[in-house]
Structure 1
Amino acid sequence: MKNPYLLLTPGPLSTSESVREAMRKDWCTWDHEYLLLVQKIRQHLVNLATHQRSEYTSVLMQGSGTFTVESVIGSVIPREYSKLLIATNGAYGNRIIQMAEILGIQTVISRTKENEPTNLYEIEKFLQADPAITHVAVVHCETTTGILNPVEDVCKLAKAYNKNTIVDAMSSFGGIELDVHEWKIDFLISSANKCIQGVPGFGFVIAKTEELEKCEGISHSLSLDLYDQWKTMEDSNGKWRFTSPTHVVRAFYQALIELEEEGGVTARNKRYRENQTILVEGMRECGFTPFVLQEYQSPIITSFLHPNDDFEFNAFYQHLKEEGFVIYPGKVSEVLTFRIGTIGEVDKYDIRRLIQSIKKIKDKQGETEK
């Protein structure tokens, strides 16, 4: 069945017909064939994340990406004798702060403006001033704006001070090339319904095995115990502790196959970047200005400023939906913005059609004003 519109969002996003088709079969969570599928996915994720595969493992976790982030924050940082340095420049960094507060974890906050990347100089000042810091957390692509943070530099700096590193790569993994070993990442977090182009239902963690092994007994949550989930998958050949989203898992496996067929992360990144370049050029022609400088911009999602005080996002959104496109409202706290994603089963021809639709909407508005 053809979708009535294209999702130009950071996830859930538009998926291929074959990914959706993969969900039509029912699976038993205990069945050997299904458990083998889970194990294949876990190894495939490690293969995508690093060339140093023997040192890393992966864990799948039920729920949204936020569930998986919280499973890491709550499972790898002991409440006693620990302190978490959080770099934030948007809603998702702020969400990690909120998690840490609820979990009773001490924090130090490095906060930059929403259209500016994480400040390495400030990170180092915190690390020098506070030896009690044990962990550093940073968001790779902050989807509040689409800004790309210098995660590799942050993690290498943290390791120079012997800290554990946690990276929220929710909106970047699978769409931007990285290597967790080379970048010195201990725990990388992402989700099924982002750049891998699966559907919502679970997140995953790619972890340095020796660091994950130290986490037994830390979690104060039963369902979000990352160590316990990993140990069960290791000891029971892919078994999840509680009911897994079987249809979503099968769709994700199909999405991994399609990522390979496209040419891997390098080819997907090229497509996303081409989408984003065409989008920005076209939006500028239509009178819209990006909130983030292009040098800091990811190819995942782009925030645009409202062009004037009379601009009504809801009306604009509805017009575009009628044209076959769904975009995202803004999440920036300082100024009025809206967002357009360039990931998923989307190519340059789709983006050009979007721009034509926006031009048509603006032409109609111009005629009405006359």
Structure 2
Amino acid sequence: MINRELIRIKIVQLTYAYYQNGNRNMDNAEKELLFSLSKAYDLYNYLLALIVAITREERHRVDIATQQAQREGTEVPSAKFAYNKFATQLEENKQLNDFMETLKQRWEDDIESVRKLCNQIEQSETYREYMESGNDDYEEDRELWRKLYKQLVQNNVDLDALLEEKSLYWNDDKEIVDTFVLKTIKRFDPANKAKQELLPEYKDEEDKDFARKLFRSTILNGEQYQRYMSENSRNWDFSRLAYMDVVIMQIAIAEMLNFPNIPVSVTINEYVELAKLYSTHRSGGYINGMLDTIARGLVAHGQMMKAMPEPRPRKQFDNGRKNGEHKHAPQPAMQQEGPVVAEKDAPMEPSSDADNGALEQPIEPERNVAEA
């Protein structure tokens, strides 16, 4: 379940935190990274358990309404949604139940939030159409929950706030984890009954190794990677670049140099998107150009054996501009107060939390662009 997109996001957060903390320790920081990634898997299971919690609340409502109808001699309410076949199979899922036994969080502790979601579901057009449908098959039941999740859980501000209160690690995870919950719903097969497999924490050991290696390379070779940036920052004062831009480029260089099977273009595109998410509106264009220049230099000097696309031909500019000056050249985000990276005579060193040997919590930079 934990994919490389999520790993890159966590490494940006943890690298930023690593340099911001006063005392640094590489081993403790790596443990914090892996713990942070494990919390994303907790969230995946917790969101699946939300479907079960909603189903149980609906059954409780149906039971009360049924008892009242029997006393009054009125029509008994439909239990179609309360006993939705997909939700019932998920409720019985052995893997989910075993995992939830290990979690401290329980939806029963936030029953008002569950009830609020039940109300929203009952008021939705999707629910009305489902209840009025004469169909009674598994595919319809599964598709109902896929629609309800997309409509009422995936982009739910109140739910997002509640989850953030539960764990700071979940603040930036839900958008990606939602896609895996939807994928899981789609994969459910009634023939598998309670043994239906959920997504594993890691697809394979290679992704876990990717996280460790990328993070360690980023930190341990940080001074060298920053030197590449400084040498290619052209007319800009490298010491005044926005700190987050430096962190993002440092990780990107580590990925380019240490993972020969990942094309340079893929790496650059991934970190340009992260710059849009975590840094300024100018950062994406500047980082794109800087990383391309650094990559070409590494290839030219035999330090990186990767194919590079042919550079685009230079555009012609008005005579009124200086040679090589772009009309809308991307500008680097500039730090407002003093240098953001260590001076050459004061190299950055690792840190740790003195009390418990772990970073207190990931420092989460302010977002400037919310990606859909």
**TM tier, shorter chain?**
under 0.3
Structure with max Cα Rg: 2
TM-score computed with the length of structure 1 as normaliser:
0.26
TM-score for both structures, normalised by structure 2: 0.26
Higher relative contact order at CA 8 Å, sep ≥6: structure 1 or structure 2? Answer: 2
Q: Which protein has the bigger strand share? A: 1
